[in-house]
């Protein structure tokens, strides 16, 4: 199969970079979706909880910024997390238009479990790569994303 994957044309599939990036992304996303399903959480919801947990972002706009997801979708997912009792919403006193998000106590309790599950999936997905290949893939992916962001 490795030979076939190296030569996509032998399978009658496109051989271009974009095609294989999409295929890879869909496979990885599917694996993460399946791993999170028992918790009633989807990958976008995990991204929101994770950003709040790490302190990287605490508003819909700041969470949406690095993701290829519209802020309105992030807002809907945050609403669902709020209804599940995993996320708290607070209006800023200095600007009532701004709503900050933070993990509830239930969300804080769940996050280590979710992070462990996602880390295990990430390790499983990358198990066929060396550490150098993983680092190179991450570096290349970041470079592609930043290049696309500059063109917007």
Long-range contacts of 54-57 (CB under 8 A, 24+ apart): none
Distance from C-alpha of 139 to C-alpha of 152, rounded to nearest angstrom: 20
State which of 5-9, 63-67, 88-92, 102-106 shows the largest mean pLDDT: 102-106
For 8-40, what is each residue's pLDDT tens digit? 556 667 778 888 899 999 999 999 999 999 999
Is the whole model's pTM more than 0.85, yes or no? no
Sign of CA dihedral 25, 28, 31, 33: negative
Mean pLDDT of the chain: 87
Percentage of the chain exceeding pLDDT 90: 58
Beta-carbon contacts of residue 92 (< 8 Å; ≥ 6 apart):
98, 99, 100
């Amino acid at each position: 199969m490795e030979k076939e994957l190296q030569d996509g044309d032998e399978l009658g599939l496109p051989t271009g970079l974009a095609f294989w990036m999409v295929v890879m992304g869909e496979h990885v996303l599917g694996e993460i979706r399946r791993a999170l399903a028992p918790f009633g959480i989807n990958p976008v919801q995990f991204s929101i909880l994770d950003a709040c947990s790490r302190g990287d972002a605490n508003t819909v706009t700041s969470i949406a910024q690095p993701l290829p997801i519209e802020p309105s979708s992030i807002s809907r997912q945050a609403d669902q997390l709020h209804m599940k009792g995993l996320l708290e919403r607070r209006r800023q006193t200095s600007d009532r238009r701004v709503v900050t998000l933070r993990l509830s106590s239930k969300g804080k309790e769940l996050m280590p479990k979710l992070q462990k599950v996602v880390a295990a999936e990430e390790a499983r997905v990358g198990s066929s790569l060396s550490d150098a290949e993983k680092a190179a893939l991450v570096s290349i992916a970041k470079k592609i994303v930043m290049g696309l962001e500059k063109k917007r």
